[in-house]
Every structure is written in structure tokens, then in C-alpha cells.
């Protein structure tokens, strides 16, 4: 059976070229970058060159890139490390209700340590109002954390405007952006956007799992969360994952080298899928059946790769497995939530009616998908949805 992988916001297939590069680093250029001999120098060169590649993409300094083990660690280091370093200036932080657990749980930890966190609401499209962020910033606000792209509905937050407003109100407030879903899909220039800290994960951009980085403006001071040998200026001890670093940089370079072509292709697939949903909805409504609902914005102001689809009367989990039977992989709401039994924060925050929380799947695309993938998935939905609805009271 042909495999149609539409869960690219959960993780992506590693580019074969990236995997091959990593294999070479692991088996041939395997030195420890801290070693003083040739093998170490060779490994250190790989780390430096990779750092340079990533810094060039963001238009920042090489020294502002810190390698981490994942997006989650990047978020933790930015938020907890930033708060600990700034605690003498204040103990107030701001975030939104729709952040990834990597951010929300870091905030919860800080609350348990006596910090105060303001959670801002979002509108029906999952967008934060920049004026509301500005209003919430106080003299003792040390850090604001707002995601670039929401992982469940693909809302793209106005981070540049938010950055401007934060700095205008309190130049000392740090601005952290979780760009795990946005990096590779948008051009992000932290220095121009007023972003001090930016979290990225490699496995969402066809790189390896267990690898990420944090951009940290040179003006920002963080307290390290990991203690050890003092690598990366003491901010992130631990022998660098040289193969992971090389793989992440190569994957990012491949995506950004043909950025316009890549994003146009993915958006084209998303638009083709949305057109299929529209046609299917016409058929459903003509039969007096409830149409599907696409959550959030769908135009060029939305993420090119994420579609949140509510199928009233059909449980997401059941639909997910029915699609799986046809070789089609999607996720229910958000894959990161499959460990968490409680309903999606994002779907609640955008005001989706309660009965629909459990009826929502997420389709997330990559440049490796094809028009045929979209056509076959649409055909599968046309077949499966009416069938499953026959067994559901709604
Ligand atoms: N932030 C967002 C928005 C995400 O979507 C994810 C993963 O899905 C993460 C953070 C965590 O990244 P990682 O899996 O690399 O820890």
C-alpha cells in the first residue's frame, strides 16, 4: 500500500542526503569537538560551519546560535534560563493560551517558583492582539513568549509587530519566540523583528530527531540549566551532537536555498486540499449533511503546511485510524497532545464548540508531498466520512 504521510507537524522524514551526511559524521568524522588533535579540530569545524549556516539563514551572528537537544529544550532554556537571569528586575512573564507544552509547562514551573504569568487569549483564528501584549507588559515584565506558528491550527502570529510593541513599552523585556513550526516555512529575522530568543527543532525540517537550537541575542543573559564541562560558553554543557548539528544545518540550508519554490509548492498543496474540502462540503450540504469545518485562517497569512479540519459527528481517533487503513497518516488535533488526555488548549482557546474538540484532525504537509497525495486523501475522506457518520448519532 502506498504511504501518504500528512503528519509533518509531528515530525518529518529525514532528507536522505541529511541522513547520509550524518552517517559520514558518525562513522568517519567522529571526533569530539573539544579534543585538541586533528579529529577534534575536524569535528569542531563541522560544528562551526553548521552554526554559520544557521546564523546566515536568520541573519544573526554565529555566536548567537546555541545547539540543544530539541525544541523543548530550547524553549526551556530561553524561558527558565531567561527568567532566572532577570529575576532581580522582576518576576512577571507573559504568554498565550495556545503555546506548546514546552512553553506552558516551563511557565508553570516558574509559577511554582514564585513568578507570575499572564496568559493572553487569542481570537477565533488563534491570533494574539499585539495591543493586548503591549498593554500586559509592565515595568517588572521580564519575558514575553509567543509562538511564531501554532502547531494545531497553523495561525501565524504577528511577531514582528509584537516585538516592536514590547520594546517600545519596556526595552528590558525579553521576547522569546517558539519558531518550531515556523522555521523552514517563513523567513524569520530575529534582529529585525525585536526577537531576543528563538527556538527551533531539527526534526520538523527534515533533519534528525533529538536536535534543536536556540538563537540568543548577544545582548541577552541566560542562566544555564545543564551543568557540566562548560561547552558552548557554559550555556549548554555536554559534548555537541556533531552529526545532529551537521544534519540540522544541512536540512535548513536545503529548505532555505529554494525557499520560495518550496513554500509555494506546500501552499499549493494546501490550497488544493482546501478546494477539495469545499467541493465535498457542497455535496454534503446538498444532501442536508453537516459540512466539514476548516479552523483558523487559510490564506497567505496562515502557515503553508497546516490544516485543522473538524468533521462533525466523527471522532478524530476513529477517522485517523480509518485513514491509516488506507495508508494515510494524519494526527488528531495535535500529535504532541496524544500523551495528554485533556482536550486541546488551542481548539478551546479559539472558541470551537465543545462537541467539536474531539472531532478535529490535523493534516500537515511538507515539500515531499504530492498532488496525488492530496487527491487520494480527499477521495478517502469522501468515502470514509459518510460511512462513519452512519454509525454516529449527531
Ligand atoms: N514547540 C512547538 C510549537 C512544537 O510544535 C513542538 C513539537 O511538536 C515543540 C515545541 C517541541 O519540539 P521538540 O519535539 O523538538 O522537542
Helix (H) or strand (E) holding 166: helix 159-169
* 310 CB near ligand 1 (under 6 Å): no
Between 242-257 and 38-58, two packed helices, what is the crossing angle to 10 degrees? 30
> Architecture of 16-257 per CATH?
3-Layer(aba) Sandwich (3.40)
Residue 336 a catalytic site member: yes
Q: Which residues make Cβ contacts (< 8 Å) with residue 233, sequence separation at least 6? A: none
pLDDT in tens, 40-72: 999 999 999 999 999 999 999 999 999 999 999
State whether residue 130 is helix, strand or coil.
Answer: helix
State the Cα–Cα distance between residues 176 and 190, nearest whole angstrom.
Answer: 10
With a 6 A CB cut-off, is 178 part of the ligand 1 pocket? yes
Name the 3-class secondary structure at 175: strand
Ranges in the chain annotated CATH 3.40.640.10 = 16-257
Chain segment 255-310, per-residue pLDDT in tens: 999 999 999 999 999 999 999 999 999 999 999 999 999 999 999 999 999 999 99
Cell numbers found for residue 252: 535548513
Rounded Cα gap, residues 159 and 307, in angstroms: 21
Grid coordinates of 263: 513554500
Tens-place pLDDT, residues 328-374: 999 997 445 556 666 788 999 999 999 999 999 999 999 999 999 99
* Cα 193 to averaged position of ligand 1 atoms, centre (Å): 21
User: Mutation test of ligand 1: which of 180, 199, 206, 247 has the most ligand atoms closer than 8 Å to its C-beta?
Assistant: 180
Instruction: Give Rg (Cα) of the chain.
Output: 22
**pLDDT for position 184:** 98
101-123 residue pLDDT tens: 999 999 999 999 999 999 999 99
CA 163 remoteness from chain centre? 19
Supply the residue whose CA is at minimum distance from atom 13 of ligand 1: 71
**Residue 339 vs residue 236, higher pLDDT:** 236
| Beta carbon of 177 within 6 Å of any ligand 1 atom | no
103 CA from centroid of ligand 1 (Å): 9
Q: What does pLDDT average to over the chain?
A: 96
Whether domain 4-11+259-390 has CATH 2.40.10.500: the reply is: no
Residue 322 and residue 385: Cα distance in Å, rounded?
Answer: 9
Question: Considering 14, 70, 87, 336, which one is annotated as catalytic?
Answer: 336
113 CA distance to ligand 1 middle (Å): 24
Would you say the pTM of this structure is higher than 0.85?
yes
Q: 79-98 pLDDT, tens per residue?
A: 999 999 999 999 999 999 99
Within the chain, all domains assigned CATH 3.90.1150.10 are found at 4-11+259-390
Share of residues in the chain with pLDDT > 70 (%):
97
Query: 345 and 97 in contact (C-beta within 8 Å)?
Result: yes
The confidence score (pLDDT) of residue 343 equals 74
How far is residue 125's CA from residue 277's CA, in Å, rounded to a whole number?
A: 19
Is the beta carbon of 180 within 6 A of some atom in ligand 1? yes
Amino acid at each position: 500500500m502506498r504511504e501518504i504521510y500528512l503528519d509533518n507537524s509531528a515530525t518529518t522524514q529525514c532528507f536522505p542526503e541529511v541522513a547520509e551526511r550524518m552517517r559520514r559524521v558518525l562513522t568517519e568524522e567522529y571526533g569530539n569537538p573539544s579534543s585538541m588533535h586533528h579529529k577534534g579540530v575536524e569535528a569542531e569545524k563541522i560544528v562551526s560551519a553548521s552554526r554559520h549556516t544557521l546564523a546566515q539563514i536568520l541573519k544573526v551572528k554565529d555566536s548567537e546560535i546555541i545547539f540543544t537537544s530539541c525544541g523543548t529544550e530550547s524553549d526551556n532554556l530561553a524561558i527558565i534560563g531567561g527568567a532566572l537571569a532577570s529575576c532581580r528586575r522582576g518576576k512577571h512573564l507573559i504568554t498565550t493560551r495556545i503555546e506548546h507544552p514546552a512553553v506552558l509547562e516551563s511557565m508553570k514551573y516558574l509559577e511554582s517558583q514564585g513568578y507570575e504569568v499572564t496568559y493572553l487569549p487569542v481570537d477565533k483564528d488563534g491570533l494574539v492582539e499585539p495591543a493586548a501584549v503591549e498593554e500586559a507588559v509592565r515595568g517588572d515584565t521580564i519575558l514575553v513568549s509567543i509562538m511564531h506558528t501554532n502547531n494545531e491550527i497553523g495561525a501565524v502570529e504577528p511577531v514582528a509587530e509584537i516585538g516592536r510593541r514590547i520594546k517600545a513599552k519596556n526595552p528590558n523585556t525579553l521576547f522569546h519566540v517558539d519558531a518550531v513550526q515556523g522555521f523552514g516555512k517563513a523567513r524569520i529575522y530575529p534582529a529585525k523583528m525585536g526577537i531576543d530568543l528563538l527556538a527551533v527543532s531539527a526534526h520538523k525540517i527534515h533533519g534528525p530527531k533529538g536536535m534543536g537550537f536556540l538563537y540568543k541575542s548577544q545582548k541577552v543573559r541566560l542562566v544555564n540549566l545543564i551543568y557540566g564541562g562548560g561547552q558552548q560558553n557554559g550555556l549548554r554543557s555536554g559534548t555537541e551532537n556533531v552529526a545532529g548539528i551537521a544534519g540540522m544545518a544541512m536540512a535548513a540550508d536545503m529548505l532555505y536555498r529554494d525557499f520560495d519554490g518550496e513554500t509555494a509548492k506546500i501552499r499549493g498543496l494546501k490550497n488544493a486540499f482546501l478546494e477539495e474540502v469545499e467541493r465535498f462540503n457542497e455535496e454534503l450540504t446538498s444532501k442536508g449533511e453537516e459540512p466539514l469545518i476548516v479552523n483558523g485562517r487559510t490564506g497567505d497569512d496562515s502557515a503553508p503546511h497546516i490544516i485543522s479540519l473538524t468533521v462533525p459527528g466523527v471522532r478524530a481517533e476513529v477517522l485517523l485510524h480509518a485513514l491509516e487503513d488506507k495508508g494515510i497518516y494524519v494526527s488528531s488535533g495535535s500529535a504532541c497532545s496524544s500523551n495528554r488526555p485533556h482536550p486541546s488548549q488551542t481548539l478551546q482557546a479559539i472558541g470551537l464548540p465543545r462537541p467539536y474538540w474531539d472531532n478535529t484532525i490535523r493534516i500537515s504537509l511538507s515539500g515531499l508531498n504530492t498532488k496525488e497525495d492530496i487527491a487520494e486523501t480527499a477521495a478517502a475522506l469522501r468515502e470514509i466520512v459518510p460511512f462513519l457518520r452512519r454509525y454516529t448519532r449527531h
